[in-house]
Structure 1
Amino acid sequence: MSYPETYRGQCFCGAVQFTVTGEPAGMGYCHCESCRSWSAAPVNAFTLWKPEALNVTRGADDIGTYNKTPHSYRKWCKSCGGHLFTEHPGLELIDVYAAVIADFPYEPGVHVHYTESRLRMQDGLPKQKDLPGEMGGSGISVAE
């Protein structure tokens, strides 16, 4: 797939705006309890980017941060509460929620933490027990 240089995104109210540039490092669905609880949804659609691909263009002071563990720093808009992205320092990646990037051609490639799923998805994509091996997980595939 060919990606244009820049995609624009924003929080729910538009107070925080950003761009992502280039090609994502990966895309998929996360089924872990943390992502489900944070997003208040049965599954989270993610896009992973190198930190330098993300540029906050408006409202940087309106971004709040919460980290339950040192693995994930979740970011949201202080005005509307809209979720924006999650920094993963150990992976050197930022998960920008697919739903907040306007006109992004989201093409998931994997399901992670599928053993924690509350919404089974029979879409033919690989299902991982936790994370792929290259991301520090077991790399173990599970049945759809």
Structure 2
Amino acid sequence: MSSENRYKGSCFCGGVQFTVTGEPAAMGYCHCSDCRLWSAGPVNAFTLWNPEAVKVLQGEDEIRTYNKSPKSFRKWCATCGGHLFTDHPEWKLIDVYAATIPDFPFNPAVHVNYQETVLPMKDGLPKFKDVPQEMGGSGEAMSE
């Protein structure tokens, strides 16, 4: 029996069911225009997981993919259109949208792509112009 944390998630209609296990590599908010357009919101709450931590339990045949660029393969449910994850092959991580895992204790640590924000947030968290250096960004910090 595993002592690791396991959280269940799903698309909007529940046709695609999945779990995430363990702890994410990172979590925070993305303010880039792609995430805003994809999520239809002013900011996207992300949780980044190692691929082996994400398991589809049901509805895998309903998952569709769109990739605007080779950096992001966005996944959604073909039945309801509910957004699920984004594969980031360059980083070897999967962004599981925080809203799709309702019982997961989302504890954001950072804002990325803050130069593009349309919803300034004064929460005391670090704000990066793009992304941290270890993820290929400038690592440049911005003020709230």
Cα deviations by residue, 1:23-63 (Å, 9 ceiling, x for unpaired) = 00000000000000001100000000000000000000000
1:102 CA displacement: 2.4
In structure 1, what is the equivalent of residue 41 of structure 2?
A: 41
In structure 2, what is the equivalent of residue 76 of structure 1?
A: 76
In structure 2, what is the equivalent of residue 117 of structure 1?
A: 117
The number of equivalent residue pairs is 142
In structure 2, what is the equivalent of residue 26 of structure 1?
A: 26
Q: Secondary structure at the match of 2:108?
A: coil
Quick one: which amino acid aligns to residue 20 of structure 2? V
Cα distance in 1 for partners of 2:107, 2:73 equals 24
Cα deviations by residue, 1:6-27 (Å, 9 ceiling, x for unpaired) = 1000000000000000000000
1:4 CA displacement: 4.8
Cα distance in 2 for partners of 1:21, 1:103 equals 12
1:8 aligned onto 2:8: yes
Quick one: which amino acid aligns to residue 105 of structure 1? P
Runs of 5+ unmatched residues, structure 2: none
TM-score, with structure 2 as normaliser: 0.97
In structure 2, what is the equivalent of residue 140 of structure 1?
A: 140
Cα distance in 2 for partners of 1:9, 1:125 equals 26
Cα distance in 1 for partners of 2:4, 2:128 equals 29
Cα distance in 2 for partners of 1:95, 1:135 equals 14
TM-score, with structure 1 as normaliser: 0.97
In structure 2, what is the equivalent of residue 65 of structure 1?
A: 65
Runs of 5+ unmatched residues, structure 1: none
Tell me how large the CA RMSD over aligned residues is: 0.9
